Structure 1
Amino acid sequence: MIAELASAGVVLDTDARRLAEYAYDASNYRVPPLAVAFPHSADETATVVRECALRGIAITSRGGGTSMAGNAIGPGVVIDFSRHMSRVLAVDEVARTATVEPGVVLSDLQAYLARVTGNALTFAPDPSSKSRATVGGVIGNDACGNHSVRYGRTSDHVVALDVVTADGVRVTATRTGLRATDPADAAANARAAELEAGLRALTDEYLSEFRLELGRIPRQVSGFHLGNLLPENGFDVARALVGSEGTCAVIVGAVVTLVPVPPAAQLLCLGYRDVVEAARDVMTILEFSPAAVEGIDSAIVDTMRHRRGADSVTGLPDGGAWLYVDLDGADAGDVARRSSELLQQLRGLGRLVEGRVVGDPAERAALWRVREDGAGLSARLVEGGDCDDPRRSARPLESWPGWEDSAVAPEKLADYLVEFRSLLDEFGLTGVMYGHFGAGCMHVRITFDQRTDEGRQVMATFVRRAAEMCVRFGGSVSGEHGDGRARSSVLPTMYSPAVMSAFAKFKQLWDPHAILNPGSIVDPAPMLADLALADIQPRTWNTSFELTSTHDVDPFVHAVQGCIGVGRCRASSGGVMCPSFRATGDEKDSTRGRARTLQDMVRTAPTVADGWRSDEVRESLDLCLSCKACSTDCPTGVDIATYKSEFYDHYYRGRRRPLSHYSLGWLPTWLEATSRLAPVVNKFANPKAGRLAGLTDQRQLPKFASHKQLRRELGEPVEHADTVLVLDTFTRGFRADVAGSAKRVLEDAGHTTECRTDVCCGLTWISTGQLSKAKKVLAKTAAALDDGTDRPIVVVEPSCAAALRKDLPELIHTPAARRVADRVRSFATAVVEQSEAGWQPTTPLPDQVTVQTHCHEYSVFGASVQRKALAAVGIGQVREATGCCGVAGNFGFEAEHYDLSMKVAEQALAPALRATAPAAAVLTDGFSCAMQVNQLQPERDSLHLAQLLDPRREERA
């Protein structure tokens, strides 16, 4: 059938790797498709649908693929609109509407509107996944978001929908009916008239049922929204289709309303003992007309701090659960007055532990990030461990969706949560709670065991019992995420047989042959069918890296299963991951796409075959820059750089490697020779010579430093030093001047230094997957540095510091390796520590700098480490290029990766350089980052932080 589609002119991707990527969304389910389509236009989409319909092939519409209910996976052709159909077609500021394609990402739409309207108008729905969720997706689910207390659901903001019907005809649904998208299309006119007549007859048949059972609470998202067809609602077909989860028509365009951006806003953060106490104050808070009332519990906060460091969550008042309350308005003084009055009234009620106004923008952003990352953070909770050290963790507690989206009227929320927690206790389950308290919608991820038959039966029984309880409270089994494969089977618990019959007839009118997103809402698939965790190979995947596990699952399997599909790696802004996806826009090049391919590799009946020898996995990992940002930015801590290194180690055993694996992978060995012959080597080193080593000829090779230069910079060795300064391969081989600066800065801070030039972090072997050699090197390094003291080990190159801090104990499983890792600091971290101890640099410093934080330092030592170091020494104006430079060790020097390397540079570094005055200071502690700056602006000399702080900086200049 797929061959027939291709012969009919339908362009499809049927690669095994691609099918693995699209077999999953953010739910518990896995359904491999037959093919994936990436249409460029509505007409091309109509062709895909029409040809599939002729052959009875199922069709699933997909945007960001972030559905938690299994709404974005299907057995036939998956149509991904996010790749090409992502434009904003028109903005009408007078009518306050925007015309958009279905694949436009919400945050991109909001950013576009801010530019063209001067931040006057925006699209209101803002689910936590807004940085990767698409307009088509939020229409499909009738998503709401953090500010739904003020702005309602997506259905409240839809004016018209351009759709392709199940037989490939283009019609437009409006707020008063249906019409042909092209008035000259006779077939479309006939189909629109036929549909409209059928929908009017359906409404007449079920008038009383629609009025009594639908639209009872703000977040009644479950089922079809047929109440919009009632005469008193204007026969609003557009809004009736919102929330239909792609089961009735394929959305190819939308006209949506825009709302004014309030000029004044203030965030209150309120601490409570638990979520029930917080819920009891919601009705009082709603009296003050807030724009948002969002909540989280302590489990999410603890996990955030453990994974990203103690300072990743700041500004929280005391408590075990928290509400974020956004108050806004036209006047800042009025907003401040209302905030004060609300705090006073809540204190008088006696449930509030502590409340505060969060004024600092950075604190507000950090707090909202905890809320927005709730789904991912709660997926693998940390039980115990030291939150200051992300490498130290107890066995994580897993939680899953399935009953994560119920809603009740806000006034019933507290009592509902009391009974719900009792139900959890009855089943011996833990629920991690966060969500839209002001709208009565709770997102609860639960510790279901989906890997065993017994655990799956517990999940099914619990969901049925929870549905019955929710209905007793007058609630909805879905308040935002849709029903999908997770909850469609319990809809008869919520609705009468008559309404269920109306749903079936509505679906039949639109999709008579049931090819659109089968398995959701009408004639649903069994809840336990197609669970991703129910089919994993019972084998051991021997690894060099020490990986943790739960439930007696192989550690490598458990590690790659860390991806639950939330898709933050697909965001176009914020954080650092995933630079390759931001450059290509291809799911293949996202952290999620790679993790899903690896997950398929470990299945009993995989789409991706051949295990460690899989060419599909090799292709998936090829454009990973090993920046390690995903290990921090991914809410579940997926570390693709580590998995890539492990996979390459197995894949290339007994095979010829790329030339760069020998030239750059063995760089520390070659540098031992070049340092003795540096003048001669530099004379002949040029891009053309690099081609012989598998390197690009478009990048200038660095100048090699000599042993003599290094000895001159370091001077005489010091006995009984209190600090160890590790001069890594890159510093010794290319930046001897930085070595001298680092030594002088530490001495200026009152320290004596032992300079170690005899150790190596093994990074080049790790990044190219040559782990046997890496372990030998690291074992020697651990033995050399484990000297029985607790002296800090300061490493000049941040990537080497990160390797010694994180990779060393994961590859060398000895107490010595752990002791050495605990002592390691990056140079910027050492500067912060010295400043906190009272030191300030003696050299004059500029008022402002531009800094490129190395990705490995970002991921291992903290996202703000460079900014903190610069603030500590008194530099307040910092332009930070937050993003990968694009070189990433060997990646940007490899001929086949050069073009992508330069595209990645355009994400953050290149724009920051263009905005920096020619004479201004640019900091690049990472050697790779310095090389990229040199490539982008050859006339500019970048500095290491040590050079900026060097007491002899002006003299040496």
Structure 2
Amino acid sequence: MTSALETAPTSRQDLNQLVRLRQLLADTGADVRFDSGTRAAYASEASNYRQVPLCVVLPRTIDELVGAVRAANEAQAAVLPRGAGTSMCGQSVNTAVVLDHSMHLNSIVSIDRDRRLAIVEPGVVCDQLNTAAAHHGLAFGPDPATHSRCTLGGMIGNNSCGAHSVRAGKTAENVERLEVLTVDGERFWVGPTDDATYRSHLAAGGRRADIVRALKTLADDYADAIRTGFPTIKRRVSGYSLDQLLPENGFNISRAVVGSEGTCVTVLQAEMRLIERLPARVLVVYGFPDIYLAADAVPQLLPLGAVAMEGLDTGIIGGLRERGLALADIAELPEGSAWLMVEFGAATHAEALAAGERAQALAQDLPGTPTVRLCADEGLIKRLWSIRETGASATSMAINENAADPVVGWEDAAVEPAQLGAYLREFAALVERYGYVTNLYGHFGDGCVHARITFNLKTHEGIAQWRAFLTEAAHLVVRYGGSLSGEHGDGQAKGELLPIMYPPELIEAFRAFKRIWDPHGRMNPGKLIDAHRVDENLRLGPGYRRNTLATHFRYAGSDAPLAFARETERCIGMGKCRSLEGGAMCPSYRATREEAYSTRGRSRLLFEALSGDTLDDGWDNDALKDALDLCLACKSCKTECPTHVDMATYKSEYLAKYYTRNRRPLLDTLIGCLGEWLPHAARASRLFNGVMRNPLARSVAARVGFARSALFPEIAATTFRKTDTAARVLANTAPAPDTHTVLLWTDTFNSHFSPEVLESAVRVLEGAGFHVELLSKHICCGRPYYDAGMLEPAKRNLLDILDALDTVLARKIALVVLEPSCLSVFRDELRSLLPDDDRAQQLAALACTLGELLAKSGTAVPAHPQTEKAYLHGHCHQKACGGMGGETALFARLGIEAKLLLTGCCGMAGAYGYQAKTADVAATIGATEFKPHLDALPADACLITDGFSCRSQALKAGGRKALHLAQFLDPQRSS
């Protein structure tokens, strides 16, 4: 019988139960959070659904996890074991005690190379296991598009698959045994169950014996119905896997539990099968006239033994082109309007290449006579796969804000590959008949199709139409002998539709299966079986209203007061910001593993503050303020997030609003106004530096929020404007014949802390034949204003800059900016704060890095003769607002091997490393995302990075002196 607490605490009895729950959970010693901010961050996933948890538990040990489940059961509360929260069907949100294993329960217990088995805790990430297994020449086969952040516990819950399931199968086929925990506290291992194992279960007595005995009875009673009522296709994920309980499948209890979406048990540990790693890969890409012909070709290609076979239609590619995204990657695709990506793997490159060449030769015999390209370069293969993995998410928001967005309301149905072409033609006709638009892609080698469709879920009429479509779509799949879900599970999105796929007898068998494990219906209720209606609990349903907000920045080309609310919808929850490796997003999450400190978590909190009912104090909510304070404003999400969530801008916008009603701390004001007071401090640099080293002064600074461990950088004894170099440049107003003039931006950081960088830049530019000019007076770009949310003075400062640069803009000369964080102001904030000022667009186009200017100028560039190889670290703003292409192209011109380090954020991020509230996180980021890459370099390696904060962190965290590009190219650089 379901308790009222399992839905929402509304009555006095419910509130009493909630108090009891709080008390019981406190006794477990686990990290238990009832605060509104945490609950808001966990209220949504990657689906259309939203349900606010009762609380969130982050157990540090397996014993704490066991205790939390037992406590919740005693309080008659619903329980939801949650993976990475990337589910698309509603199964990882619920009004329940949410168990997040990912922060602490993420250990790989063991890897047995000989038996090809790994034992893992449920919070281990898929890529984490693969990295560890690779050291043994092994791999974990399933790899969903979310492989960089999805957890093994979540994959087990959803029976996840991925692109390489053609070879590896679903998660179920890769599970050997599971240690499970029932809601009432029974804990035991399950797996294949022969007679001896069955007897040992019964001998254990208690609930364990009752459960196993009941499962055996269930399998016997429903054996014929299961054999005749289950689709035989490879990608059947919908419903419970009762077929695994049949004797011919070894009465495999663990595999019957896989795909149960947390509705039956909590997984404590998992013994996973590993496969031989195939390190050599070749990708063959076919370009077809349409997606149906691509599907028709699958049966002919399957016998070739590919490890992956993915289809992709023109909807995604066209959407990327329309948004100006991944254009260089798209240009590598062969000509066509739909593509089939077929990957071959082998132990050696020669073997993989031979398989690829056989597939390439088959092109002329395939339906539609596709164009074809064979790709053997590892980097190119990765780029092409990235189109497939992120393309759908990148096009998930319509460019026209009033148009319907493509959403996941009908995902991942599967049919036999031989039926795929015929099915897709009928499905596309059904979509068109309802007036929808879709893009089609998916795991064609397994007959699994993903579709983002322009459903209107915001009106009652639109939802009625959606329900009608779902019913017809479900009947269509069943008519083809398919499964409603071929990968993402049922959750709430498909649960209501299961009676279309399965006869009443099997629906009752599903209910019996759940009751055996969960007699009182407390495990993730309302999902998979006896599910909530598909149109309940919608995050953006008919009841949702965008709230107005006057903003400083212009968003998505619109100045409408609803624009910021639209921005809070941008995050679709796919969670790339929770990736632990690759790229730079999101450094604060990587350092803390806190959901609220991920880009997704912050997006959810902003959404709830603006439109939800969870954060009833809205903009003043402490959790929201804390989450945004911990954002480094590194801008990585602006480019690395597939939906281009721009958290750095949102943070500035938020702080500007927040401090209209709250007193701004003194330290924040000092940080924001750095460009104003630093030139004055520089006039007495010796005194200022001495004060900042004084213990008493540092103690006073700590009282206003300055980190005790941080040392403010020393102001140079002679700032750049006082150097002979600056004086000479200012005096030399007449350019020599046949020289190009550039303006060198004298940024605040280099001017006052490292003037030698600007001096080197002058020498390099003049040596390359440029006439260098400077503004007659120093002006700060205003970058610190944005970190403090001081947007009114930031806007005034930008207008001053544009006025000062009027003649420069009229002459259309390049503005060389040495500090990446300054360049990002000109390329990003400037255009968003002053969108109607034509000068802003002109300045953004003229501003460039030293590397970009020299790479495209064609002029002679001096280079240090003893340097054969250099190592480049990209400042986060540089990578987000233009990339490192200019620098790498320049080194190629110079004939110097330049290795672009795969570093993440250095952790300093302006003042982030100096504030008490963020210094520890900054240190962790530096130690984990930056220092290991520096430690791996040769002792005499030449490290180059343009960011002042990056050079500071390289010395502080890595013990390495880094050079600015200007210093590296300086002809006066010493050996």
> TM-score scaled by structure 2?
0.92
Task: Say which of 706, 711, 726 aligns to 1:700.
Answer: 711
Q: Structure 1 residue 261: deviation in Å?
A: 1.0
Q: Structure 1 residue 878: deviation in Å?
A: 1.5
Q: Deviations over 1:58-110 (max 9, x none)?
A: 11110111101111111110111112111111222222111111111110011
Q: In structure 1, what residue type is equivalent to 2:516? A: L
Q: In structure 1, what residue type is equivalent to 2:941? A: A
Q: Structure 1 residue 866: deviation in Å?
A: 4.2
Call closer, same or farther: CA 1:611–1:40 in 2, change over 3 Å.
closer
Aligned partners of 2:385 and 2:54: how far apart in 1?
39
Aligned partners of 1:751 and 1:621: how far apart in 2?
43
Q: Structure 1 residue 283: deviation in Å?
A: 1.2
Q: Deviations over 1:801-825 (max 9, x none)?
A: 0111010010113222222222222
Call closer, same or farther: CA 1:516–1:230 in 2, change over 3 Å.
same
Call closer, same or farther: CA 1:824–1:690 in 2, change over 3 Å.
farther
Task: Say which of 752, 769, 776 aligns to 2:771.
Answer: 752
Aligned-residue RMSD, C-alpha: 2.5
Task: Say which of 127, 142, 149 aligns to 1:107.
Answer: 127
Three-state SS of the structure 2 residue aligned to 1:219 is coil
Call closer, same or farther: CA 1:314–1:893 in 2, change over 3 Å.
farther
Aligned partners of 1:26 and 1:654: how far apart in 2?
34
Confirm or deny that 1:716 pairs with 2:729: yes
Three-state SS of the structure 2 residue aligned to 1:564 is coil
Three-state SS of the structure 2 residue aligned to 1:485 is coil
Q: Structure 1 residue 553: deviation in Å?
A: 8.2
Q: Deviations over 1:135-166 (max 9, x none)?
A: 11111111111111111111111111111112
Aligned partners of 2:700 and 2:19: how far apart in 1?
43
Q: In structure 2, what residue type is equivalent to 1:441? A: C
Report if the CA contact (8 A) 1:395-1:550 is conserved: no
Q: In structure 1, what residue type is equivalent to 2:651? A: K
Report if the CA contact (8 A) 2:192-2:252 is conserved: yes
Aligned partners of 1:755 and 1:303: how far apart in 2?
43
Call closer, same or farther: CA 1:627–1:881 in 2, change over 3 Å.
same
* Residue correspondence of structure 1 range 543-562 to structure 2 within 5 A: 543-548=551-556, 554-562=562-570
Aligned partners of 1:729 and 1:697: how far apart in 2?
24
* Residue correspondence of structure 1 range 387-402 to structure 2 within 5 A: 398-402=405-409
Confirm or deny that 1:372 pairs with 2:392: no
Confirm or deny that 1:904 pairs with 2:925: yes
Task: Say which of 499, 506, 513 aligns to 1:499.
Answer: 506
Report if the CA contact (8 A) 1:309-1:862 is conserved: no
Report if the CA contact (8 A) 1:224-1:503 is conserved: yes
Aligned partners of 2:670 and 2:196: how far apart in 1?
64
Call closer, same or farther: CA 1:425–1:92 in 2, change over 3 Å.
same
Alignment-derived partner of residue 125 in structure 1: 142
Q: Deviations over 1:680-729 (max 9, x none)?
A: 43444427445544422323322324356554223233347632322222
Report if the CA contact (8 A) 1:843-1:949 is conserved: yes
Confirm or deny that 1:582 pairs with 2:590: yes
Q: Structure 1 residue 336: deviation in Å?
A: 2.3
Task: Say which of 643, 646, 654 aligns to 2:653.
Answer: 646
Report if the CA contact (8 A) 2:745-2:816 is conserved: yes
Aligned partners of 2:201 and 2:441: how far apart in 1?
50
* Residue correspondence of structure 1 range 789-804 to structure 2 within 5 A: 789-804=811-826
Unaligned runs of 5+ in 2: 1-16
Q: In structure 1, what residue type is equivalent to 2:970? A: D
Q: Structure 1 residue 23: deviation in Å?
A: 0.8
Three-state SS of the structure 2 residue aligned to 1:26 is coil
Alignment-derived partner of residue 947 in structure 2: 926
Call closer, same or farther: CA 1:866–1:580 in 2, change over 3 Å.
farther
Three-state SS of the structure 1 residue aligned to 2:540 is helix
Alignment-derived partner of residue 208 in structure 1: 224
Confirm or deny that 1:518 pairs with 2:525: yes
Aligned partners of 1:284 and 1:357: how far apart in 2?
18
Q: Structure 1 residue 899: deviation in Å?
A: 1.6
Alignment-derived partner of residue 623 in structure 2: 616
Aligned partners of 1:254 and 1:773: how far apart in 2?
56
* Residue correspondence of structure 1 range 255-334 to structure 2 within 5 A: 255-301=271-317, 304=320, 306=323, 310-311=327-328, 313=330, 315-334=332-351
Q: In structure 2, what residue type is equivalent to 1:354? A: T
Aligned partners of 2:433 and 2:115: how far apart in 1?
53
Q: Structure 1 residue 653: deviation in Å?
A: 1.9
Call closer, same or farther: CA 1:294–1:616 in 2, change over 3 Å.
same
Alignment-derived partner of residue 663 in structure 1: 670
Call closer, same or farther: CA 1:177–1:51 in 2, change over 3 Å.
farther
Confirm or deny that 1:93 pairs with 2:132: no
Alignment-derived partner of residue 849 in structure 2: 826
Alignment-derived partner of residue 548 in structure 2: 540
473-482 vs 733-742, which deviates more?
733-742
* Residue correspondence of structure 1 range 166-181 to structure 2 within 5 A: 166-176=183-193
Three-state SS of the structure 2 residue aligned to 1:781 is helix
Q: In structure 2, what residue type is equivalent to 1:319? A: G
Confirm or deny that 1:952 pairs with 2:965: no
Report if the CA contact (8 A) 1:802-1:826 is conserved: no
Q: How many residues align?
A: 937
Call closer, same or farther: CA 1:904–1:179 in 2, change over 3 Å.
farther
Q: Structure 1 residue 952: deviation in Å?
A: 3.0
Alignment-derived partner of residue 601 in structure 1: 609
Three-state SS of the structure 2 residue aligned to 1:616 is helix
Q: In structure 1, what residue type is equivalent to 2:770? A: H
Confirm or deny that 1:742 pairs with 2:754: no
Call closer, same or farther: CA 1:845–1:873 in 2, change over 3 Å.
farther
Alignment-derived partner of residue 158 in structure 1: 175
613-622 vs 450-459, which deviates more?
450-459
Q: In structure 2, what residue type is equivalent to 1:280? A: D
Aligned partners of 1:229 and 1:551: how far apart in 2?
59
Aligned partners of 1:81 and 1:792: how far apart in 2?
52
Report if the CA contact (8 A) 2:127-2:148 is conserved: yes
Confirm or deny that 1:725 pairs with 2:744: yes
Q: In structure 2, what residue type is equivalent to 1:812? A: L
Unaligned runs of 5+ in 1: 384-393
Call closer, same or farther: CA 1:474–1:868 in 2, change over 3 Å.
farther
Q: Structure 1 residue 455: deviation in Å?
A: 2.5
> TM-score scaled by structure 1?
0.93
Call closer, same or farther: CA 1:302–1:892 in 2, change over 3 Å.
farther
Aligned partners of 1:201 and 1:320: how far apart in 2?
53
Three-state SS of the structure 2 residue aligned to 1:326 is strand
Call closer, same or farther: CA 1:155–1:215 in 2, change over 3 Å.
farther
16-25 vs 427-436, which deviates more?
427-436
Alignment-derived partner of residue 388 in structure 1: none
Aligned partners of 1:395 and 1:746: how far apart in 2?
49
588-597 vs 838-847, which deviates more?
838-847
Identity fraction in percent: 37
Alignment-derived partner of residue 197 in structure 1: 213
Q: Structure 1 residue 550: deviation in Å?
A: 9.1
Alignment-derived partner of residue 391 in structure 1: none
